[in-house]
Amino acid sequence: MSAEEVAKAFVQHFYQAFDSGVDALGGLFNEQSMLTFEGQQVQGSPAIIQKLKSVGQVKHSVKTTDIQPSSNPNAIVIFVTGAVQIGGDNPLHFCEFFHLVSTSPGQYYVHNDVFRLNYGL
């Protein structure tokens, strides 16, 4: 699969899993993974899943996905924009950056995940 195919499949899977139950995301992270969520950093799969659960029920609508190869030939960077409803409230704009790193052919984990809500743009 090309970097673009991997990234598109990842984005679709990530947001579907997040919206239906955060626990399904556990396998995408490992102990090296780091999430920065609205400026708060957490590291390791259990801490990341706990942080994502604390957000509550969400529904994402992806608007754009930009994909680039990383300086490491076994990694991909992805930038996503869209809207997210939290707890059924009005949608808010968000942006999210992912750095995927390959562990073996066709297998990736999220090494970095940076999430921000976009207020008052």
Task: Supply the pLDDT for residue 105.
Answer: 87
Task: Supply the pLDDT for residue 2.
Answer: 86
CA 14, CA 40: separation in Å to the nearest integer? 20
pTM of the shown model: 0.93
For every one of its 121 residues, what pLDDT tens digit does the chain have, with 9 covering 90 and above?
A: 888 999 999 999 999 999 998 999 999 999 999 999 999 999 999 999 999 999 999 999 999 999 998 888 899 999 999 999 998 889 999 999 999 999 988 899 999 999 999 987 5
CA 16, CA 74: separation in Å to the nearest integer? 25
HEC profile of 63-109: EEEEEEECCCCCEEEEEEEEEEEECCCCCEEEEEEEEEEEEECCEEE
Task: Supply the pLDDT for residue 89.
Answer: 85
